[in-house]
Amino acid sequence: MKKQNRSSRLSSLAEDMGTGGTPDEVPFRSRLHYLFAQIEKEFELLYLENLNLQDKLDGYINKESLQSHERCTAANQCAAPVTVSHEETDTAGTAVSSKSLKSKFTSSGGKVKASHKIKAQTSRIVSSFKNQSVVSSVMREFCGHKDGVWQVAAKFGQPIIGTASADHTACIWGIESGRCLLQYTGHAGSVNSIKFHHNRDLVLTGSGDGTAHIWQAALAGVSRKGHSSEEELDDSDEQVEDRDRVDTLRTPLCEFAGPGGHLSVVVAADWLSNMDQIITGSWDRVAILWDVETREPLQPLTGHDHELTHVSAHPTQRLVVTASRDSTFRLWDFRDPISGVSVFQGHTESVTSTVFTRDDKVVSGSDDRTVKVWELRNMRSALTTIRTDSSVNRLAVSNGGIIAIPHDNRQIRLFDLNGQRIARLPRTSRQGHGRMVSSVAWEEREEPLLNCDLSLFSCGFDRRVFRWSVILPKDN
């Protein structure tokens, strides 16, 4: 009956479409009749296939139900008879009810059992495709800034990190103690970036006051792992107060400003690989290559149409990338006497950060909610595109190729260079950032960090800085 009703509905629709009109419209009506006939034929085939599948499923369920009934019957036959006394009427009533319920479930619940079995099989199949879980947790919090923190950086080979804040200060922190060891107050504006010298106790910062500074960060007792419990017991109040005191530095070793310098906010600065030159980027749409010894500008890098958002230097080669709000980033090559530039286009909104990897790739993040991995030798298209649900801020790539992505929506996500998602760091009312995560940095070590406990640092506009422990599964 259903089949006849469906056919009559399709036929009446075809007739409605074909009625009336002039003789010139006859070919069109014939064409419509033909098309509707084809559609009806396809529906009939689908309907028959569905009936076939339904019969197979019913047969499977009935078979399962029959087997369950036979098992229950065999169990009842083997069970010893039970005599119930009058005192046990309530208990017996419960037992009878339970038995009746069980028999009803056995007879009418075959479908439920079959569906559970199918779900279990599906679950096993799906679980075989899932990655092993990544264990991540907050190990320490660094508190002290009075405004949002723009960037966090780790020092190679030393247990310290640096932070740059909108409160006009930059701080050096002990990783193990969580204490602020040194506060730099030499800038007159927001400190927007911070980078350590690779092998000297020097720090490079860029600021909203339009300047970049290099300052001394020689810290006494940084390598000391801590006091024993006996030493702590013997500490006097004076010694405790001395340990809690924060040293303040106000005067830089070098200041990069003046003629040929920037005319607006310096948003980022970095050391070139030889450490005798630095690169700075500004809202004046220009990046500048500086000589550290003379403090003079060597070369302005122009070409971006809008404000710069980030600059980054290659760790071992004289290469620099500059990112801009014009949705592009540029690769500057200083390995030859005549420098070259390549433009990378692929994002649709501001490029917020660009960093090099150890295997000569560039990873870029953008306000268009994507992260792209690029091959330096091929700027035409990205090797990998990672799509997220929020704007991307200053990301970081570990020596082992793990991309840490900080977001405007307070999340931090981990991906590999192939675009495979690894983890999302936990964020609850007690754990994680409460506002935008502005920057992340991996702890720097000599060997690539693979299949072990990694340390990741993050900072945000909730004024908080965290150290995360990230334990990857062995197959990563």
Query: Domain-by-domain residue ranges, the chain?
Result: 136-217+244-471
Computed from CA positions of residues 38, 44, 50, 55, in that sequence, does the dihedral angle turn out positive or negative? negative
In order along its 476 residues, the chain shows pLDDT tens digits of 544 554 444 444 444 444 445 566 667 777 788 888 888 777 778 877 777 787 777 766 666 655 655 554 454 444 444 333 344 334 344 333 444 433 433 444 444 445 555 544 544 444 444 445 788 889 999 999 999 999 999 998 899 999 999 999 999 999 999 999 999 999 999 999 999 999 899 999 999 999 999 999 987 655 544 333 333 334 555 554 555 678 999 999 999 999 999 999 999 999 999 889 999 999 999 999 999 999 999 999 999 999 999 999 999 999 999 999 999 999 999 988 888 899 999 999 999 999 999 888 999 999 999 999 999 887 788 999 999 999 999 999 998 899 999 999 999 999 999 999 999 998 887 789 999 999 999 997 665 444 467 899 999 999 999 999 998 876 55
pLDDT value at residue 78: 44
| Alpha-carbon span 311 to 257, nearest angstrom | 17
pLDDT value of residue 41:
79
pLDDT recorded at residue 114: 52
Homologous superfamily, domain 136-217+244-471: YVTN repeat-like/Quinoprotein amine dehydrogenase (2.130.10.10)
Structure tokens at 320: 């620099």
Query: Which residue in 443, 441, 435, 428 sits closest to 463, CA to CA?
Result: 435
Whether the predicted model's global pTM rises above the 0.75 cut: no
State residue 108's pLDDT score: 45
Surface-to-core class of residue 403, CB atoms within 10 Å of its CB (0-12 exposed, 13-18 middle, 19+ buried): buried
pLDDT at 66: 58
Which of 268, 380, 362 is CA-nearest to residue 317?
Answer: 362
Residue 328 tokens read as 């592009």
CA distances from 107 to 111, 247, 386, 389, 443 (A): 10, 79, 51, 49, 62
pLDDT confidence of residue 431: 84
